[in-house]
Amino acid sequence: MNTRLTRHERERLYSLIREKLDLGGAECPEEIKNTTMVRELPGVDSMTLLRLLGAVELGFQVNLGFEAIPQVQTVQDIERLICESREQDAARPS
């Protein structure tokens, strides 16, 4: 199972997280990395996380579903969910 995004896709994911969580300013001085704890980012609550995952679904054209919410601890978890969704889609008969 390929649980990694390309470098370009990962950068796009980090950019999407910064945009949707409005992390462009000084309130989030650290860089977004795969080990970043999503729920510890400034302003993240359950609704913000839901909106973020919806944006990830649209941006990466995947279906994460509501069951993804409790699985997200780190940014790497979001990356894994994207890859798993892609694999499930690829395994479905055409």
Range of the domain at 76: 7-91
Chain-centre distance for alpha carbon 93: 26
Report yes or no on 1 lying in a domain.
Answer: no
pTM (predicted TM-score): 0.88
β-strand partners of 74: 37
Q: What is the pLDDT of residue 61?
A: 95
The string of pLDDT tens digits covering residues 24-37 is 765 555 688 999 99
- In whole angstroms, give the CA distance from residue 67 to residue 79: 15
CATH number assigned to the domain comprising residue 37: 1.10.1200.10
Report yes or no on 26 lying in a domain.
Answer: yes
